[in-house]
Structure 1
């Protein structure tokens, strides 16, 4: 299992869409994501980034996912590309398996 974390803010292209276009796009993305969600992709949190966060990352929103297989991991990333997600959102991602981070920090 891997964790996948998206940090994102809307681009001007998103801001230029009206409410109906935004709704239609997000409904579509949700629809094409259903199969992955039924097969081992789970959203743990979908949140707004608090303004008072110490050393705050400069992104308005974040999503934390768990992804059960390498195939689903690839599918999630391909979906973001194929659906034009990055046209509408400036985004950085983090991805990794649970590991002994302290051991890696201590041992180099």
Structure 2
């Protein structure tokens, strides 16, 4: 079953203190790990700068959205992100789970 991962993140002082060369080296390391994740069927859906004017926002500046074919791929992505050192540089909140339709989701909420 399809899963989604939504990351919301904010740069930490450790990121802000890196020079351009160190940031490029870090992103090269992240890029190197993407091939293995893509082979698992992990699809980057979109990334961006979160709109601070949206009501009920999280206060995080950036977001990333990923589509994954199953729970195994979700675990691999979360582990890969952690192994890259991402959380050393970005304060991250994750929301992830199996995708369902709105009717099924409303049923989940009604059963609470």
1:61 aligned partner = 62
Structure 1 unpaired stretches of 5+: none
Q: How is 1:11-22 mapped onto 2 (pairs within 5 angstroms)?
A: 11-22=12-23
1:79 aligned partner = 80
Matched residue count: 108
The superposition leaves residues 27-83 of structure 1 with CA deviations (integer Å, 9 ceiling, x where unpaired) of 210111212113300011101101211111110000110111322211111112211
Which runs of at least 4 in structure 1 moved beyond 3 Å after TM superposition? none
TM-score (norm 1): 0.92
Structure 2 unpaired stretches of 5+: none
1:26 aligned partner = 27
Q: CA RMSD in A?
A: 1.2
TM-score (norm 2): 0.89
